[in-house]
Each structure stands twice: as structure tokens, then as C-alpha cells.
Amino acid sequence: MIAAEDINAFYGPSHILFDLSFSMAATERVAVVGRNGAGKSTLLKSLMNAGPRVEGKVSWQGRSLGRSAAYKRARLGLQMVPEDRRIYHHLTVRENVRIAGHARPSSAPRLDPDAVLAQFPMLEPLRDRMGFQLSGGQQQILAIARAVAAHPTVMLLDEPTEGVAPAIVEDMVGTIRDMCDSTGMGLLLCEQNLWFARKLTDRIVVMDTGRIAFDGTWQEFAARPEIKETHLAL
Ligand SMILES: Nc1ncnc2c1ncn2[C@@H]1O[C@H](COP(=O)(O)OP(=O)(O)OP(=O)(O)O)[C@@H](O)[C@H]1O
């Protein structure tokens, strides 16, 4: 289980998350939705200690993470794929995946990069292509494949559909779902695309101005149309 208890997050003097509590089981699939600037990415980054200053307790598998650095959290099984898709542009697809394996927990076996790539039909034929030669959607999938190579227990995925063509977004649903099914990993997905989020998760957390406005199943969300009207309508 990953849990944040009453956390407050700040960028310099800007207070972004307010007394926020959130938890999910390591096998759950949860979507975090909300308008631009609601604090979705800041929640993910706060769980990873990857940017904002965080006050309050974040714990993983029942143990406080204290102020541990993001790379140490990755070695414990938490892998974030940030919005800006960090890949190595001057390495091939295969090399990108191979290098990412170094971030895996010490107890996890090294995964063969080709076996990782076999889970991503869109990338497999591109394994010898350089990062900079990929489209935005292909780069996004490569960023996800790199996270898989690090053997996560939970993947924190930040807006994977942003700037990606609709046909590729549809392909991504199957790819990410198969990946979660085959590895058993949990998924915490920040997303503006409700259709995509609904396809991949069982639970929805709605954020508004740094707070959680709703947390429940998609059925519960559908039964409360005012939540969407108040917190998600533009
Ligand atoms: N590095 C930063 N320094 C200062 N303020 C920041 C920084 N990153 C984000 N913010 C601010 O924090 C608030 C929450 O941003 P965040 O990126 O968490 O929102 P979001 O819900 O993920 O939005 P989006 O869907 O647009 O990515 C916004 O007001 C944003 O301007």
C-alpha cells in the first residue's frame, strides 16, 4: 500500500496540496483526474519526492518513506513516468530499455530488454531506432517500457495521452492493460482523458485546487453527475 497522510506540498512559497490524504493498494488501478493545475502531477511527484517540498507522511508497504530520494523510492518498487517523457534521444529504443533496468530493486531480476519490448507491439519493430527518431506517441510508450524494465510494483503514470494521436491513444489502452495484467503491477494514472482513464482503472480520484473532491468507483462517480459538473467541467 502507498499512503499519503495529511500532506501539504509547496513549490517555493506556493502552497499546492492542502492536507491531502490518499492511499491505494499495491495492486490497485486508480485514476487521478482534474482540471489543469488541480495538482495531479504534484500528487504523483509528492509520492516520489520528485520536485515539491512535502510536509506530512508518505509511506510505502507500511513504512514511512521519510525524506528518501526519488531514486531510492524507485528501488523500492515505485516508478514514475513523468509528463515530459524522459528518454535518451541519442540511444536506441533497446538501449533505452536496457539502461532503465539499472533502476530496478536489488531483489528483482534483470529483465531482457527484448522481452520487455515484446510487451509493446508498437515499439518492437523500432528497437534499433534512435530515441529522437520516434513520434511523440512512440516516445511515450518507450518511457512506459523503460519504467517496466525497472520492475515496478506500482507505476505512477502522468498524462500519457497528452499530445498523442487518437489512434495511438486507443492502442495504448490495450498495451497498458496487458502490461498491468501480465505483471500484476498497480497503476496510479493522472489523466485528463476520462475515456482513457475509465478503460484502465477501477477507481477515480477527482482533484480540485489541491484537494480531493471525490474518491470512489467509476460506478459511484457516474451516479454523482454533479461531481463532474462542479470539478471537471471547463
Ligand atoms: N515547478 C513548479 N514551480 C511552481 N509552481 C508549479 C510547479 N509545477 C507546478 N506548479 C503549479 O502547481 C499547481 C498544480 O500543478 P500540477 O502540475 O500539479 O497540476 P496538474 O493537475 O497536473 O495540471 P495539468 O493537467 O495541467 O498537468 C499549478 O498551479 C502549477 O502552476
Residue 233 lies inside a defined structural domain of this protein: no
| Binding site membership of 132 for ligand 1 (Cβ less than 6 Å) | no
From the CA of 190, how far away is ligand 1's center (Å)?
12
Distance CA 25, CA 147 (A): 19
* Model pLDDT, residue 164: 86
CB atoms near residue 153 (< 10 Å): 19
Report, as ranges of residue numbers, the positions in the chain whose pLDDT lies below 50. none
Residue 85 has what pLDDT? 75
Domain count, the chain: 1
Q: Specify the pLDDT at position 192.
A: 92
Q: 37 CA distance to ligand 1 centroid (A)?
A: 5
Residue 106: phi, psi to the nearest 5? -65, -25
For a pocket test of ligand 1, which of 10, 40, 209, 231 has the largest count of ligand atoms closer than 8 A to its C-beta?
A: 40
Task: Decide: 37 in ligand 1 pocket, CB within 6 A.
Answer: yes
In a domain, 205, yes or no: yes
Nearest-CA residue for ligand 1 atom 26 is: 36
Q: 203-208 and 211-217: which strand pairing?
A: antiparallel
Whether residue 89 is contained in a domain is answered as yes
Q: What is the 3-state secondary structure (H, E, C) of 171-192?
A: HHHHHHHHHHHHHCCEEEEECC
Please indicate whether residue 122, judged by its CB atom, sits closer than 6 Å to ligand 1: no
3-state secondary structure 4-64: EEEEEEEECCEEEEEEEEEEECCCCEEEEECCCCCCHHHHHHHHHCCCCEEEEEEEECCEE
Task: Kindly state whether residue 73 falls inside one of the protein's structural domains.
Answer: yes
Q: What's the pLDDT score for residue 111?
A: 81
Output the pLDDT for position 84: 80
Probe target for ligand 1 pocket from 8, 11, 43, 196, with the most ligand atoms within 8 Å of CB: 11
User: Would you call 110 exposed, middle or buried from its count of C-beta atoms within 10 A (0-12, 13-18, 19+)?
Assistant: exposed
Q: Tell me, what's the pLDDT at 106?
A: 76
Residue 234 covered by a domain = no
Indicate whether 142 belongs to any domain.
yes
Does the residue 202 lie in any domain?
Answer: yes
Residue 165 is predicted with a pLDDT of 86
Q: Contact 21/7 with Cβ under 8 angstroms?
A: yes
Tell me the angle at which helices 166-183 and 136-149 cross, rounded to the nearest 10 degrees: 10
- Evaluate whether 40 touches 190 at the Cβ level (below 8 Å): yes
CB atoms within 10 A of CB 140: 26
CA of 3 to the centre of ligand 1 (A): 21
Please name the residues in contact with 139: beta carbons below 8 A apart, sequence gap of 6 or more.
Answer: 85, 87, 131
Q: pLDDT (tens digit, 9 = 90+) per residue, 191-232?
A: 999 999 999 999 999 999 999 999 999 999 999 999 999 999
Residue 190 inside a domain? The answer is yes
**What is the domain-level CATH number for residue 135?**
3.40.50.300
Within 10 angstroms of residue 1's Cβ, the number of other Cβ atoms is 14
